[in-house]
A and B are shown apart, each in its own frame.
Chain A
Amino acid sequence: MTLQHYLVISAILFTLGIFAVLTSRNAISILMGIELILNSCNLNFAAFSRFMTPPEDISGQIIAIFGIVLAAAEAAVFLAIILAIYREFGSIRPDEVDTLKG
């Protein structure tokens, strides 16, 4: 296993996440895309920490743990907003939520 194996997996995950965010018409699948992106980012941190720094330096792993914490906070707020939007509009399709549009 080389560093590039992990980087390629992470690049594929990132691209799929971007694809989901760009194309889906449902707020929850957008959230899943964002989770994929965050996972690829954390995987990169862990991989660079393993291969590019001395073995006793695990700062990259700690950054990845902070990334997981941020993802949890983001998911909670995201779903709260989705619930509020659903109550207001009866739908979670992002293009139907256009009250602020002029």
Chain B
Amino acid sequence: MEFTLKNFIFYGFALMTVASALLVVTVRNIVHAAFSLMVTLFGVAGLYVFLQADFLAATQVIVYVGGILVLILFGVMMTSGRLEMRIHVERGQLLLGGIVSLALLTLLLTVIANTPAWKNLTDDGTELPPTTERIGELILNGPFLLPFEVVSVLLLVALIGAALISRKEVRE
């Protein structure tokens, strides 16, 4: 594989994603873990750009980094008053969890390396047209209209449910 600028940037994003994800699970301070998660999400957005999924990359940044991560930070701040901001880990669980995760990773990598249909599928570097317009067509005027409506209702239900669960109970 030749080392072009594009490859260099791709490996940079890949390394950034994997390294910060490793930090998310190993760092002891939960606020640091949340900020590492932000770097991971940005890295995944960069990988989406390499997959020529421009709308998906923008959505990833807006929804994950702008929405979910802020939600997580709020959750950290509202629940760590008396609790120190440390992530408790037990030794035995660390060992067992490590073994299970390593076994899983080995399994996944073996499958990825040995599936014939997935081999030699290279990105030929052709530029695809931007996806935003086609995604709008497919969602609002195509086969994804029904899932779109269902997901809208689901979001509404989640919103009402979250407000209902987290409010203070008023006793008469």
Chain A: interface secondary structure? helix
**Contact residues of B between 69 and 116, Cβ < 8 Å to A:** 71-72, 74-76, 78-79, 82-83, 87-90, 93-94, 96-98, 100-102, 104-105, 108-109, 112-113
Whole-angstrom distance between the Cβ of B146 and the nearest chain A Cβ? 12
Residues A22 and B166 in contact, CB atoms below 8 Å apart: no
Chain A residues bordering chain B, tally (CB within 8 A) = 72
CA separation between A76 and B68, bound complex, in Å?
A: 8
Residues B7 and A1 in contact, CB atoms below 8 Å apart: yes
Chain B: interface secondary structure? helix
Binding site for B on A (CB under 8 A): 1-9, 11-20, 22-29, 31-33, 35-36, 39, 42-43, 46-47, 49-52, 55-56, 58-59, 61-62, 64-66, 68-77, 79-84, 86-87, 90-93
Binding site for A on B (CB under 8 A): 7, 10, 14, 17-18, 21-22, 24-25, 30, 33-34, 37, 40-41, 44, 47-48, 50-53, 55-56, 59-60, 63-64, 67-68, 71-72, 74-76, 78-79, 82-83, 87-90, 93-94, 96-98, 100-102, 104-105, 108-109, 112-113, 117-123, 126, 128, 131, 134-135, 138-139, 144, 147, 151, 154-155, 158-159, 161-163, 165-166, 168
